[in-house]
Structure formats: C-alpha cells, structure tokens
Structure 1
Amino acid sequence: MPEVSIITPCYNCAQFIEETIHSVLAQKFTDWEWIITDDKSKDNSTSIIKKYQDPRIILIESKENVGAGQARNIALERASGRYITFLDADDYWTPDFLEEMVGFMKKEKAELAYSNYARCDENLSPTIADFHADKVVTFGNLLKTCRLSLLSSMYDSQRVGKIFFPKGSKREDHVMWLNLLKKIPEGKPLPKTMAKYRMHASSVSHKKTNIIKDQYLVYKDFMHFSTLKSLYYTAHWAFNGFLKYSKWFN
C-alpha cells in the first residue's frame, strides 16, 4: 500500500489539469497513489489524464455528474494510503509538498496538519498575500473561520479513519473538517508555502454574499446548533471571510 493517497475531483479542467499532473509527478516523495474521479467532464480532461501511463495514477470515470464532494468520496472509498490529502484539478504543489507534510506529520505525531498556500490568479501569479498556517486548529476556532484548505492539508486515516464529505451541503469541505476535528484535539500548522491556489473570478468561495445561507446551514443542519448559535457563528464566518480575501488586509 502507498503511504499517501491523493484525492482529486475533476470536472471540465482540461485548461489546467496538465499543470496539476506535472506538479504531482515532480514530487520528491514518491510513495503515493493519486485517485482522480472525473465527474462526467464535457471537455477532454480524461484524455489528457490518460496520456500519463504512471501506475500510481488511478482514474475513475463517474457515470453521472455528482459534484465535487461526492466525487472526492468515490476516490476516498478506493484510497489505501495512510495519509490522505487533497488536490483539486486546477491547483498546484511545489515539489517538496508531500515530503515536507509527511515528515511533519511523523515528527509532530500529528493527526491533522496544514501549511501555507499562495493565492494566485489563473496563471498562478500571486494576487494577494499567502495564506499563513499560523494557528493550531481546533473544532472551536474552526467554527468561526475555515483555516483548512483542501490543497494544503493532510490527515492520518490510520488514526482517525476516513472522513467523508456530506451530501446536501454546498460547504461540504467545512463540514468535513468540522467532523474530523470532533474526533481529535487539534490540527497543527506547518508555516511553509508549498501549494498554489487558483482564485478564479467566478469561484463559489469568492462570492461570499451568495453563500451566507449555505454557511448558516453548516451550523443549523449539520452541527445541529440552535438558530441563535448558528447565526452567531455565521456572522463570525462572514467577517473572517472578508478579512481572509480582502486586499485591504493582505
């Protein structure tokens, strides 16, 4: 079994997937499997992936479009590595990402860890300051803002089990991290920039005002908080989200 399982959903990512593939193949740490679920792409994403005949790359072609969260779940079901990490089909790792993260996890005996990442435009040029992994993450402080990004985080499935993404939420990554942190005391920061996140102008995460209701439902429907408590954490999340992406503060 490989030591690391990389989980990737792919939907119409032909423009970027080749660059993402190159970033994985360039990793100094080589004991990995990469499970990509193509979510019924309408472009030539799958033909690009199939060009790479590396046995560590496993392509699953979904028979229907199920969304990113469930596409990740399909890959997670197949994953056999101890350490689970995520990389979307348009994002990028520097060659030392896996080596540094696995080494940090072992040295710190961490169940969950996260690193800095660069926030870039579609050409991977920085647009605002790097997001810094500068705080220990707990269930309590993750309620107020999601400091964990899929492309720069890793968890130990041998110690915490596989954590799947919920159905019925547009904020499935936040719910997944909260469910994970219910099981462990903390996630540890590795303050080194080793990943690049493409901030598309049309990305859902950029349209904060459009997802206030979805975030409220994270607390109300998935954490089962009261209405007042859900509104309290939604307000904190919205304010911290503004600080996270505002160029005034970055």
Structure 2
Amino acid sequence: MTANLPHKKVTSVKVSVVMPIYNVEAFVKDAINSVLNQSFKHFELLLIHDCSPDNSLAICKQFHDPRIRIIEHEQNQGLAAARNTGIRHAIGQYVAFIDSDDMWHKEKLLQHITHLDQAPEVGISFCRSLFMNFQGQKINIYQMPQLTNIEASDLLCRNPVGNGSAPVIRRETLSDIRFQALNKRQPHSCYFDENFRQSEDIECWLRIVTTTHWKIEGIPAPLTLYRLNAQGLSADLKKQYASWENMINKAKGYAPDLLAKHEAKARAYQLRYIARQAIRNKDGKEAVKYLHLAVKTAPSIIKAETGRTLATMAAAYLLKLLPLSLYKVFEELAQFVLGRIQTAKISKDGVNPALLK
C-alpha cells in the first residue's frame, strides 16, 4: 500500500473525508470538487485507489490541493476495505464518507459538524439526499428517511442513512466497533466487514446501534447528491439480496432478539426495496416478482406503509404491462408530483430554500 503526502502539513483537521476510487473516471472530478468546495475548510480528503483499471487515478493526481492524500491498494479489495483503509489513515475528529460517483452540497460538512458538536450522544449524523440521474442532472426527487428516534428495528427494516455518501461519524463511534481481520495475511483493524461486497454499510450501522450506546440521527437538509446508476442488471439485484441475507445471518450473532422479532418484516421491506431497484432498472418483470415476495413474506407492510407499497405496486405493474415510452410518461408525472410534495415537506422542516437549488 502506498500513499502520497500533501504538499504541506494540513493543520486543524476536524474531519477526514474518505472517498474510495474504482472505475469512476467519468464522475470522480466532480466528486472531488464538491468536497474541495465545502464552506467548512478544516478537512482532509483521503482518496483510496482500489486498483481501478480506468483513468481514475490519473484524474485524482491532477489535483494539487494540500488537503488531499492518495492512498493506493496493491490489489483490489472492495468498497468495505477501501473505507477501512481510509479510517485507519484518518486524523480527523470525525470521518465522512462519499462515494466517488456522488456529490455534496457545499454546506454539507458544516451542517454535520454543527450537528455532532451539539449532540454528543449522536454517533452517526446523516442527511436527506437529492437524486440525480446517470448524467448528473438533478431530478428533484429526494430520499426522505426517518430522521430522529431511530431504533434498531427501524434501521433493520429501512436503512435511514440511504447511501454511502450521507454519513459523518465520530472517530470514537468507529473505535467502539473496531475488530481485527482474521482472514488476511497481514492482520489489520476493520470497521466495515470486508467479507461483504454489498450491504457492508447497513451491517456497520446496525452493529453500531445494537452493540454500542451511540445514537443515529439525521438532519433535514438534502446535502448529498446521489447518482442513480442506470446500468444495473437483474443479476446485480440477486447479488444484492443475497448479500443482505448474509448480513442478516451475521446480525443474528450479535442481536438475536432483534432478529427473532423483526426478521420477517425486515425481509419484506428489503424485497420491496429490491423491487424499486428493478423499477429503476426498467425491469418490470423482476419488480413484480420481488414485490409479490415482499407481500407474501409480510402482508403487514401494506397496512404499515400503504402509500409507499401501493406506489411501488403501481409502478411495477405499469412497467411490466405498458410500452416503455408510455410508462415513462406516467413516471415523469409521478416524479413531478412527488417532488413537489417532498419539497414542501423539506421546506416545512425549516430548511433554507437556497439548499434546495
């Protein structure tokens, strides 16, 4: 593993930003710039190059900001290992994560640091996210998760953090879940489980909530711009679901009572989430299949979240039955209406309108 040092010593580092780099030559420049343009300046940016075969590393090396450090893996290890490498090298009081195909609003770090400074019981601070399409255009639809009073059962059923570019975490919180890798020739500290190629984030958050005293809490502003990957395949959905099942099996070891009570409901919510992913991939057949599995697994989700479940059902069947061109008309109309409702909700929560632009 190699690392380049900054041109001069970076002082007063409050937060370390960890960005894994792999096959993102089309996006990584924008991601890096969105960090460098933060209104809060006292950070370091750790770019973890995970042996990407494309031009990503060369693009990273074009930046000459003293706050940037590039750390190179000697072989590809995956997202969880890249994040672990970043944490081990981090010197900040807080650690923030951003995936290299996403972007941040310029006020993101400032708002999260303010939140964590004022709420010492909170170990993970996250935010709402604004979706953008594969080309980077905002589509004015938001991830609108539960923000407060988050219990382990809430986290198990619906990951409120939403994506890997939303959380900012205390160093002490990560230290409290640190463990030693046993399957490596060179043992090292881990925080995310490197055996997972997917679901590594929710497994980490669940471990924090169930095995430590730290709370998880969100702020209402949509400060993360999350890119929807239009290149997903049905095979990836199967891998994603299989990885989630592996996470459940691991969680039974440290939270058996939680799983005994909520596993079926959590599986139904996950299947419904996979159905929505299939809808984004424009695969109506797979969407209907996973939605049927969700309802069969726990019919109670229809009553618990009627609107969201019925909306997913409508989209799945319309996608399966209609020509794609006609389906897109309904999709655009639904997104317009949903976006207006969500924007009104965010404004009602006291978010500065400037953050919605």
The normalised TM-score by structure 1 is 0.89
Q: Which runs of 5+ in 2 are unaligned?
A: 1-11, 178-190, 281-310, 313-337, 339-357
Return the alpha-carbon distance in structure 1 between the equivalents of residues 74 and 43 of structure 2. Answer: 26
2:242 to 209, 213, 225: 213
Is 2:263 the partner of 1:236?
no
The amino acid that maps onto 2:64 is Q
Quick check: which one's strand share is greater? 1
Q: 1:154 to 1:204 in 2, by over 3 A?
A: farther
| 1:23 equivalent in structure 2 | 34
Residues matched between the structures, number: 250
Query: Residue 35 of structure 1 corresponds to which residue in structure 2?
Result: 46
Q: Hey, what's the Cα distance between the residues in 1 that align with 2:176 and 2:71?
A: 19
**Matching residue of 1:154:** 168
Inter-partner Cα distance in structure 2 for 1:205 and 1:92:
26
Q: What's the C-alpha RMSD, in Å, of the aligned pairs?
A: 2.7
Matched residues in 1 for 2:147 and 2:276: separation? 16
Q: Tell me if the contact between 1:97 and 1:195 (Cα under 8 Å) persists in the aligned partners.
A: yes
Q: Take 1:135 and 1:245, find their aligned partners in 2: how far apart are those partners? A: 26
Taking a change above 3 Å as real, the CA distance of residues 227 and 210 of structure 1, as seen in their structure-2 partners, is farther
Partners of 2:134 and 2:227 within 8 A in 1 = yes
Matched with 2:193 is 166
- Would the aligned equivalents of 2:18 and 2:46 in 1 still touch at CA under 8 Å? yes
Question: Aligned equivalents of 1:129 and 1:70: distance in 2?
Answer: 31
Pick from 3, 11, 23 the counterpart of residue 14 of structure 2.
3
Shift of 1:129: 1.8
Write the distance in 1 (CA, Å) between the matches of 2:235 and 2:227.
11
1:122-137 to 2 correspondences below 5 Å: 122-127=134-139, 129-136=141-148, 137=150
Tell me if 1:113 matches 2:140: no
Residue 138 of structure 1 corresponds to: 151
Please give the secondary structure, in 2, of the residue aligned with 1:152.
Answer: coil
The question of whether the paired residues in 1 share the 8 Å contact of 2:208 and 2:214 is answered with no
Structure 1 CA distance for aligned equivalents of residues 214 and 176 of structure 2: 17
Q: Distance in 2 between matches of 1:235 and 1:159?
A: 30
Corresponding residue number in structure 2 for 1:176: 204
More displaced stretch, 175-184 vs 235-244: 235-244
Shift of 1:39: 0.6
Q: CA 1:244/1:131 → structure 2, altered by over 3 Å: closer, same or farther?
A: farther
Q: Which range is displaced more, 204-213 or 161-170?
A: 204-213
2:33 match: secondary structure: helix
Q: Secondary structure at the match of 1:179?
A: helix
In 2: Cα distance, 1:151 partner to 1:204 partner: 22
CA distance in 1, matches of 2:234, 2:66: 33
CA contact (8 A) 1:139 1:186 kept: no
Counting aligned pairs with the same residue, the percent is 22
One-letter amino acid of the structure 1 residue matched with residue 74 of structure 2? K
The more displaced of 43-52 and 220-229 is: 220-229
Amino acid of the structure 2 residue aligned with 1:121: N
Aligned CA distance change for structure 1 residues 214 and 79 (closer, same or farther; 3 Å): same
Measured in 2, the distance between the counterparts of 1:28 and 1:176 equals 29
Tell me how far 1:185 sits from its aligned partner. Answer: 4.8
Distance 1:84 1:62, change over 3 A: same
Q: 1:185 to 1:2 in 2, by over 3 A?
A: closer
The reply on whether 1:98 has 2:131 as its aligned counterpart is no
Shift of the alpha carbon at 1:7? 0.9
8 Å contact kept, 2:173–2:214: no
127-136 vs 89-98, which moves further: 127-136
Which of 220, 227, 233 lines up with 1:198 in the alignment? Answer: 227
Question: Which fold has the larger relative contact order, with Cα–Cα distance below 8 Å and residues 6 or more apart in sequence?
Answer: 1
> Contact between 2:147 and 2:220, CA under 8 Å: does it hold in 1?
no
Offset of residue 76 of structure 1:
1.0
**Change in 2 beyond 3 A, CA 1:190/1:125:** same
Q: 1:227 to 1:158 in 2, by over 3 A?
A: closer
Does 2:252 match 1:223?
Answer: yes
